[in-house]
Structure 1
Amino acid sequence: MIIRSKAPLRLGLAGGGSDVSPYSDLYGGLVLNATINLYTYCTIEELDTQEIIIDSYDAGCFKSFPLSSKLDIDGEASLVKGVYNRVMSDYKLNPKGFRITTYNDAPIGSGLGTSSSMVVCILKAFIEWFSLPLGDYETSRLAYEIERKDLNLSGGKQDQYSAAFGGFNFMEFLKEDLVIVNPLKMKRWIVDELEASIVLYFTGASRSSAKIINEQKENTSKGNNEAVEAMHKIKQSAIDMKLALLKGDMHSFAYILGKGWENKKKMANAISNPMIQEAFDVAISAGAISGKVSGAGGGGFIMFMVEPTKKKMVIDALGKLSGFVMPFQFTEDGAHGWKVYETDRV
């Protein structure tokens, strides 16, 4: 039997960073995000051998391990091993041989939540394989615990929930890791207009979000007034943008996006850099209204808001830089898994 799963990546529209502890524990966080048609993928194939084979294209790991209920976390394919160890431990499952293959549509460190989406994707495959009783909230929470606590990887809480739920979501992050996901019912014309107004540009450089996030956490812990006040404004922008989005007010949406980026740059020194600034200068000169780096910052994808009639000019201008423009559409569905039996295979 073969089990497959996929989970969407996301664009962080507003409030990003307020989902990171200790800020969310002290003040509460609010995030507005939406999933897009770029995905992480996982396939599990049952084997008759006493081994576990990991083919992780995203992590660059292609190795075989003796069958065991726990794999050593040694820096190679940590996401796969972390999910496997937790599932086997929590549900007291008997190990059996399998091959697991993972890959994704976007570069690691792209700012689209690739790592968290991959954890959710892998977890969904195991849920499907062993018929585990986990809904979207439980899947998101377990994925968060695996990534942030078991593997000690820096980051927030929004990405796991976005990948599991899918669609446009307004999320609340409270004390003790309590998360409330509020799905937004979007009119089709608003989604179409938003797609027509966004240029998604990859800078050509992936980045590790850990350093930026750790500096952000330190600034909050030490009570850095400028950083904390900036995060308060970023959180408020999620509320303001939600209202603008539901009304289809793209002018206000673009203004809030730009103000959010200006405040985000105050959170940590490495959020912007000359490469990012060059892309902003080129896009704005070509007609873009505003922009924001998706994710923690430092590289990855930038989303620019443009008047749709000027979109081609912005795309052509950015095309002269070292990165590339990524076509995309918003999606409604979150992570899911399915089984393929031998008679179903091509």
Structure 2
Amino acid sequence: MTDFRKTRARAPLRLGLAGGGTDLSPYCDQFGGAVLNITIDRYAFASFLPRDDGRVVFEADDIGVSEVYEPNSTLHSELVLHRGVYDRMIREHNGGRALGLTIKTTVDAPAGSGLGSSSALVVALVEGMRAILDAPLGDYDVAHLAYEIERIDLGLSGGRQDQYAAAFGGVNFIEFLANDRVIVNPLRASDAVCNELESSLVVCFSGRSRSSAAIIDQQTAGLKAANADTLTAMHQLKADAAEMKRALLVGDIDGMAEILNASWTAKKATAAAVSNAGLDALFDLAMQSGALAGKVSGAGGGGFMFFLVHPESRFRLIQALNAAGAQAGPVKLTHRGSEAWRF
């Protein structure tokens, strides 16, 4: 297909409530991983605009990078996610024929946020290209393809949960098994439970982004070496995901908080760089200001933290965090995954 209408796509970012890290190889290949995550009202956006000159243009407005390629030129891009998706989709779903278009993207959180922003962007790009090329891809296909583009084609370190969260959306218990088998279990939480959870959440940007690759590589090295401390921590994180699912389904926020605190302790045992003095100070301040529990979202080292708090204490917690120079606020749950539309 070489002619198309203006197309847009988006994919939601996520918070990992429990089990993050167990979606990494070789752990999930050997023991099976499990993650409980929720998608929130922050998105990766992509717009696909047709061109008459055959050029391919990538524009990432939020980071101020723009690249222009002549027809049939080799793409050597700084915007590797854009390039990786374009190359793979053109090769597999357009017979290798170049398609002239402008792809403009923005993400509602900085890279290194810990909210799965990079993977959500890849999912949004795949979703938009799927719509343009009429590619026969379902949600599992979109998520798996996004995973392959990031981890295999581009060789970027990371796990699997972010792509599936972005593609499916909502509240999901996701199992990661050997041979790249993934099972997404949407949780049928009642409206009252979702409202209570949403009202009990505070997200807080720690003030600096971080690269997750070094932390993930350290965790992976510990797993490959069968490091006892790393394995014990990973087993605990997996067990926490199952316990968190049970607590969430009945709306037991205090129970969720207890699991979250234990899970944060276990996560810090998987790699030394997961936490640091700045994150520990932010955590301590939150706990002194009414938070029940908290942890870093994503691999750690920086980015966003999130906290559970009784709703009647949420405003006081947000005030205290912002007074300390952090960027804190409420967040809303979303229940739809990646989607594309034309007009």
Bucket of the pairwise TM-score, normalised by the shorter protein: over 0.9
For 2:151, give the aligned amino acid: R
Please state how far the C-alpha of 1:93 moved relative to its aligned partner.
Answer: 4.3
Alignment correspondent of 1:88: 90
Say which of 77, 80, 84 aligns to 1:78: 80
Instruction: Establish whether residue 319 from structure 1 lines up as the match of residue 329 from structure 2.
Output: no
Give yes or no for the alignment of 1:65 onto 2:69: yes
- Whole-angstrom CA distance in 1 between matches of 2:170 and 2:205: 22
1:334 equivalent in structure 2: 337
TM alignment of 1:180-329, pairs within 5 A: 180-329=183-332
Runs of 4+ in 1 over 6 A off after TM superposition: none
**Secondary structure of the residue that 1:319 maps to in structure 2?**
helix
1:134 & 1:6 partners in 2: Cα distance?
Answer: 16
Residue among 33, 53, 56 paired with 1:49: 53
SS at match of 2:57: strand
**Deviation string, structure 1 residues 157-194 (Cα, Å, up to 9, x no partner):** 00000000000010110111111111111101111111
* CA distances 1:195-225 after superposition (whole Å, capped 9, x unpaired): 1111111111100000000000000111110
Q: Does the CA contact (< 8 Å) of 2:44 and 2:120 recur in 1?
A: yes
Amino acid at match of 2:91: S
Contact 1:69 1:95 in 2 (8 A): no
Deviations 1:76-99 (A, max 9, x none): 010000001101111214213111
Aligned counterpart for 1:127 among listed residues 130, 141, 157: 130
Q: Give the Cα separation in 1 of the matches to 2:74 and 2:329.
A: 39
Q: Deviations over 1:57-84 (max 9, x none)?
A: 2454212111228522x4x010000001
- Equivalent in the alignment of 2:169: 166
TM-score under structure 1 length normalisation: 0.96
Distance in 1, Cα, partners of 2:230 & 2:62 = 33
Q: Matches of 2:86 and 2:6 in 1, distance apart?
A: 17
CA contact (8 A) 2:201 2:330 kept: no
- Structure 1: gaps spanning 5 or more residues: 341-346
Provide the rounded CA distance (Å) in 2 between the counterparts of 1:139 and 1:60.
Answer: 27
Equivalent positions of 1:19-58 (< 5 A) are: 19-58=23-62
Report the 3-state secondary structure (helix = DSSP H, G, I; strand = E; otherwise coil) of the residue aligned with 1:169.
strand
Question: What value does the CA root-mean-square deviation take over the aligned residues?
Answer: 1.1
**185-194 or 53-62: which moved more?**
53-62
Q: 2:181: which partner in 1?
A: 178
Cα distance in 2 for residues equivalent to 1:273 and 1:8: 28
1: CA distance, partners of 2:228 / 2:216: 17
Q: 22, 40, 45: which is aligned to 1:18?
A: 22
Deviations 1:98-117 (A, max 9, x none): 11100111111100000000
Identify if the C-alpha distance between structure 1 residues 159 and 37 changes in structure 2 by more than 3 Å, giving closer, same or farther. Answer: same
**1:65 corresponds to which letter in structure 2?**
Y
For the 8 Å contact 2:318–2:329, the answer to whether it is kept is: no
Aligned partners of 1:34 and 1:167 also within 8 Å? yes
Query: How much has 1:304 moved relative to structure 2?
Result: 0.8
What's the counterpart of residue 344 of structure 1?
A: none
Q: Give aligned-pair identity as a percent.
A: 46
> Following the alignment from structure 2 to structure 1, what is the Cα–Cα distance between the partners of residues 144 and 322?
39
In the TM superposition, what whole-angstrom CA distance separates every residue of 1:125-150 from its partner, at most 9, and x where no partner exists?
10111111000001111000000000
Q: What amino acid is the match of 1:7?
A: A
Aligned to 2:68, the other structure's residue is in SS state strand
User: For residues 102 and 150 of structure 1, what CA distance do their matches in structure 2 show?
Assistant: 21
Q: Distance in 2 between matches of 1:135 and 1:47?
A: 27
Amino acid at match of 1:84: Y
After superposition, where does 1:141-160 map in structure 2 within 5 Å? 141-160=144-163
Aligned counterparts of 1:168 and 1:101: Cα–Cα separation in 2: 29
Query: 89-98 vs 308-317, which deviates more?
Result: 89-98
Once the two structures are superposed, residues 23-54 of structure 1 have per-residue CA deviations (whole angstroms, 9 ceiling, x without a partner) of: 11111100000100100000010010021111
Contact 1:70 1:88 in 2 (8 A): no
Give the secondary-structure state (helix, strand or coil) at the position aligned to 2:232.
helix
